[in-house]
Amino acid sequence: MAKITYVEHNGTEHVIDVKNGLSVMEGAIKNNIPGIDADCGGACACATCHVYVDEAWKDKTGAPSAMEESMLDFAENVEPNSRLSCQIKVTDELDGLKVTMPESQH
């Protein structure tokens, strides 16, 4: 279990307990948090679950795969701390993680 803070683009914060094994994306979708669309349901096929990982958490969330990096390369508003949240698996290690949503996923 990890407490994850999801910050909408307008600054609204949602603090959610997310079960281990789920992805950061699933934590948002299952709690109806706006700002993460996840059109493909986590298949790494669409790049609509884009988030910015708080700098302090970049190491713990790991590096994106080549597939994810290629998808991010062409997403909108990409920053060095951009990730696809469907590719970040929740573990106890991520307790306290903070992610911020881009202005739009489309």
Partner 1 sequence: MSQQAAPGVVIVGAGHAGGTAAALLRQYGYEGAITLIGDEPIAPYQRPPLSKAWLKGEADADSLALKPLSFYAEARIDLVMGNAATAIDLTAKTVSLASGDAIPYAHLIIATGARARPLPLPGADLKGVLSLRSAADAEELKAALRPGKRLAVIGGGYIGLEAAASARALGADAVVLEREERILARVAKEPLCSFFADYHTARGVVFETKVDVEGFEGADGHVTAVKLSGDRTIPCDIALVAVGLIRNDDIAKAAGLATNNGVVVDENARASDPAVFAIGDVAHRPMPHYDGRMFWLESVANALEQARHAASVITGRPPPAHEVTWNWSDQYDLKLQIAGMPFDVDATLVRGDPAQAKFAVFHLKGDVIQAVEAVNAPAEFMAGRQLIGQKKRVSLEKLADPTVSMKEVAA
CB of 45 to partner 1, least distance (A): 4
CB of 102 to partner 1, least distance (A): 15
**Residues near partner 1 (CB under 8 A), total:** 23
**For residue 44, with 0-12 CB atoms within 10 Å meaning exposed, 13-18 middle and 19 or more buried, which class applies?**
middle
Q: Which positions from 56 through 95 interact with partner 1, judged by CB under 8 A?
A: 67, 70-71, 73-75
DSSP string for 16-80: EEE-TTSBHHHHHHTTT-TT---TTSSSSSS--SEEEEPGGGTTTT-PPPHHHHHHHHTSTT--T
Per-residue binding string, partner 1, 9-48, x by CB under 8 A, is -------------x---x--xx-x-x--x-xxxxxxxxx-
CB of 80 to partner 1, least distance (A): 16
85 three-class SS: helix
The residues binding partner 1 (CB under 8 A) are 22, 26, 29-30, 32, 34, 37, 39-47, 67, 70-71, 73-75, 106
